Amino acid sequence: MDKKPFYITTPIYYPSDKLHIGHAYCTTIADSIARYKRLAGYDVFFLTGSDEHGQKIQRKAQEGNVTPIQYVDKIVASFKLLWEKLNISNDDFIRTSEKRHHEVVQHIFQKIYDQGDIYKAAYEGWYCTPCETFWLERQLVDGKCPDCGRPVETLSEESYFFRMSKYQDRLLAFIEANPDFIQPVSRRNEMINFIKGGLEDLCVSRTTFDWGIPVPFDSKHIVYVWFDALVNYITAAGYLNNREKYAKFWPADLHLVGKEIVRFHSIIWPVILMALGEELPQKVYGHGWLVVEGDKMSKSKGNVIDPLALIDEFGADTIRYYLLREITLGMDGNFSRDALINRINADLANDLGNLLHRTLNMIGRFNAGVIEKPGETAPVDQELLNLVQETTAKYAEAMDNIEINSAIKEVWALISRTNKYIDETAPWALAKDPAKKQRLNTVLYNLAETLRIVAILISPFMPNTAPKMWRQLGIEEAFGDITLQDAKCWGGLKEGTKVAKPEPIFPRIEEKAEEIAENPKSKVSAEKVDAPEKSVQADLISIDEFAKMDLRVAKVLAAEKVKGADKLLTLTVDLGTEERTIVSGIAKHYTPEELVGQNVVMIVNLKPAKIRGIESRGLVLAASSEDQLAVVTAPGMKPGSKVK
């Protein structure tokens, strides 16, 4: 059966400067929707590109003593590099300087002129060059551009005009009859009010510069840059050169744009299409802006964030995840480095990374790395299985409604629940009892199978991570061939699959943690107890604050030195309900053999930290003064006993 087509576009970006994280945000949203639709079985055409003409670009090129095409070639190359590094899966990249586009713009201009909807007249008015926008006197704010606040220039020249006014009523009727055409609804209402205010005919040519597409029958006129730019969406769909493709993909399903250009896409563009007798796009979605500490990004404020530097530092998937998870689509969102690091540590390293690591680690230790055949399903398993199914359904519904961060939240709720499932089923306890082997196999299978499905669901957001997870789970099937159907079918993981050695997929970003572990003085220490009265008074805490610390007895099951770190030991401890790994800076005072079998006291609810690449989950208490150190122990107590 033929796949259903889905055509999605980003705006085409101005190559007047390098792209910043705000532009990367827009393209990442489009990419995750495109990837989701492919997963859901659609034949997707995903388009992005560059909007290269206009006075602003011509001026910039002059300033740099290069020709406009030399100027844009260089910047467009940097766009393409960014999209490659961000793992953007566009099917085409359109440049408005390309011949295929010139031909379409000239063809359309001629056609609309021939039918009488474009006419020549004298233009007197206001123009904002940075925004490439004409304004009426009444639209100016304090005499300046209402969009960017910069000064406008008076224009008085002979121009061609597009009879927008003729289409006003038809456009309004269309928008009212198609409630989903403009989203979110706040933008829709804005547009309705704008149209009701009256559509003026639009000036669609300029004569003061020549970097653009000449009007076919009057070459001293250059086609107005928005008329030129909007047409890119049908050029790339094959309007003139590939009618079969055009019939398949036009009308576009989704034009994803920033909120400030919704007006061009939901008023000027539909009217051009109406004049051409072409169908209107299904949806124009206006997303919000990414701001930095509440402020718009700008060169003059020095707060422009370079996405390439962020990708190099944190990795593409991490940046993609942050942008999609942190910001509610349609609303403005703040970019903050601290929030990014928090997300990496909490959601990626801790929740997802840990789940994968714990699961693979247990399969390695208890079942020699083999995913064994599951046995009977207990109620606790059924609850997990039900949640997996529900999550997939809710995820698909959210993605179909372009509610990306809701979809992500659903998946993370499943990840948290699965981490809890490990604690509830306690595979380490099952592993000790040969009579519980079947039960152990079931639990480990359910964990690995849930992770297989989680990888599929997160693949539109994190396309590098998902196949990495599959590889670690030992799945040989190529990730590229999977569909959403594979997430819906429980049991896809074949028994007998051999998992790989777990490797951290998201390193924790916590430089301070290592310092603390290597310097036990910052833990509960004898020095502190001996400290003068005054500071003891100053450090008073309430009983509630003390109660927040979960102190417990833990039995050391194994201990070994951390390679290349002479102060560190890795301890495996039994907490009664679970086993944990802790990295402790006590190697200068204890040999591993001295510790095995001891009941140490540890803080259980400390945030996990990555130390020398090892995830440390907890902290062993030790008294220390000068060069002496003694681990606090609780001989004879049951592992897991509370220390109060």
230 binds ligand MSP (CB under 6 A): yes
Within residues 235-254, the interface with ligand MSP by CB under 6 A covers none
Contact 91, 46 (CB under 8 A): yes
Select the span of 17-25, 70-78, 310-318, 580-588 touching ligand MSP (CB under 6 A): 17-25
Single out the segment in contact with ligand MSP by CB under 6 A; choices: 18-26, 198-206, 411-419, 597-605.
18-26
Candidates 20-28, 120-128, 237-245, 423-431: pick the segment binding ligand MSP (CB under 6 A): 20-28
Which 8-state DSSP code applies to residue 302? T
CB count within 10 Å of CB 347 equals: 21
Which of 158, 169, 260, 594 is the binder for ligand MSP (CB under 6 A)?
260
Residue nearer to ligand MSP on the CB measure, 199 or 290: 290
Q: By CB under 6 A, name the one of 7, 23, 358, 374 that touches ligand MSP.
A: 23
Q: Which helix (H) or strand (E) holds 624?
A: strand 622-625
Closer to ligand MSP at the Cβ: 257 or 457? 257
Total of residues contacting ligand MSP (CB under 6 A): 19
Please pick, from the candidates 11, 307, 353, 618, the single residue that binds ligand MSP as defined by CB under 6 A. Answer: 11
Closest CB to ligand MSP among residues 103, 351: 103
Instruction: Write down the least CB distance from residue 48 to ligand MSP, Å.
Output: 10
- Considering only the stretches 22-30, 431-439, 444-452, 515-523, report the one whose residues sit in contact with ligand MSP under the rule CB under 6 A: 22-30
Cβ neighbourhood burial of 341 (10 Å; 0-12, 13-18, 19+): middle
Which H or E run contains 440? helix 437-458
Q: For ligand MSP, which is the closer residue by CB, 229 or 453?
A: 229
Binding string to ligand MSP for residues 265 to 304, with x set by CB under 6 A, is what? ------------------------xx------x-------
Task: Tell me how far apart the alpha carbons of residues 627 and 171 are, in angstroms, rounded to a whole number.
Answer: 81
Choosing from 6, 7, 8, 22, the residue that interacts with ligand MSP (CB under 6 A) is: 22
Q: Is 76 in the site for ligand MSP (CB under 6 A)?
A: no
Span from 7-15, 336-344, 538-546, 563-571 in contact with ligand MSP (CB under 6 A):
7-15
Q: In Å, what is the CA distance from 532 to each residue of 323, 484, 535, 625?
A: 49, 64, 6, 15
Q: How far apart are CA 492 and CA 124, in angstroms?
A: 68
Q: What DSSP designation does 65 have?
A: T
By C-beta, is 254 or 634 nearer to ligand MSP? 254
Which one, 7 or 13, has the nearer CB to ligand MSP?
13
By CB under 6 A, residue 12 contacts ligand MSP: yes
- Would you count residue 258 as binding ligand MSP (CB under 6 A)? yes
* Shortest Å distance, C-beta 11 to ligand MSP: 4
Please state, in angstroms and rounded to a whole number, the distance separating the CA atoms of residues 290 and 134.
26
Shortest separation between residue 290's beta carbon and ligand MSP, angstroms: 4
Task: Locate all alpha helices (DSSP H) within 209-353, ordered by sequence.
Answer: 225-230, 232-235, 243-249, 262-263, 269-276, 307-314, 316-326, 337-343
The identity of residue 639, as a single letter, is P
Among 6, 14, 314, 421, binds ligand MSP (CB under 6 A): 14
Least Å from the CB of residue 160 to ligand MSP: 19
Phi, psi of 35 (to 5 degrees): -65, -40
Please identify, using beta-carbon distances, which residue of 276 and 637 lies nearer to ligand MSP: 276
Q: Is 326 one of the binding residues for ligand MSP (CB under 6 A)?
A: no
Identify the DSSP state of 268.
I
Q: Concatenated DSSP letters for 348-406?
A: IIIIIIHHHHHHHHHHHHHHTTB-PPP-PPPHHHHHHHHHHHHHHHHHHHHHHTT-HHH
**Per-residue contact string for residues 462-481; x = within reach of ligand MSP by CB under 6 A:** --------------------
Cα–Cα distance, 622 to 453 (Å, whole number): 42
Interacting residues of 544 by C-beta distance below 8 A, sequence separation 6+: none
Map residues 30-69 to x or -, x wherever contact with ligand MSP holds by CB under 6 A: ---------------------x------------------
Q: How many residues belong to the chain?
A: 644
Q: How far is the CB of 461 from ligand MSP (least distance, A)?
A: 18
Which one of 23-31, 78-86, 120-128, 599-607 is the stretch in contact with ligand MSP (CB under 6 A)? Answer: 23-31
* Contact yes or no for 332/290 (Cβ under 8 A): yes
Angstrom CA distances, 231 to 201, 237, 280, stand at 18, 10, 12
Instruction: Report the alpha-carbon distance of residue 515 to residue 496 in Å, rounded.
Output: 42
Between 22 and 639, CB nearer to ligand MSP: 22
Residue 633 DSSP class = B
Query: In the complex, what is the shortest distance from the CB of residue 158 to ligand MSP, in angstroms, rounded to a whole number?
Result: 26
CA-based nearest residue to 270, from 234, 246, 244, 224: 234
Among 25, 395, 470, 506, binds ligand MSP (CB under 6 A): 25
Cis? peptide before 251, omega within 30° of 0: yes
Q: Which of 6, 7, 13, 239 binds ligand MSP (CB under 6 A)?
A: 13
Task: Choose among 469, 501, 508, 505: nearest CA to 615.
Answer: 508
Closest residue to ligand MSP, based on beta-carbon distance: 258
Report residue 507 as tokens.
Answer: 């390193």
22 versus 353: smaller Cβ distance to ligand MSP: 22
What DSSP state is assigned to residue 432?
H
Question: Residues in the site for ligand MSP, rule: CB under 6 A?
Answer: 11-14, 22-23, 25-26, 51, 229-230, 232, 257-258, 260-261, 289-290, 297
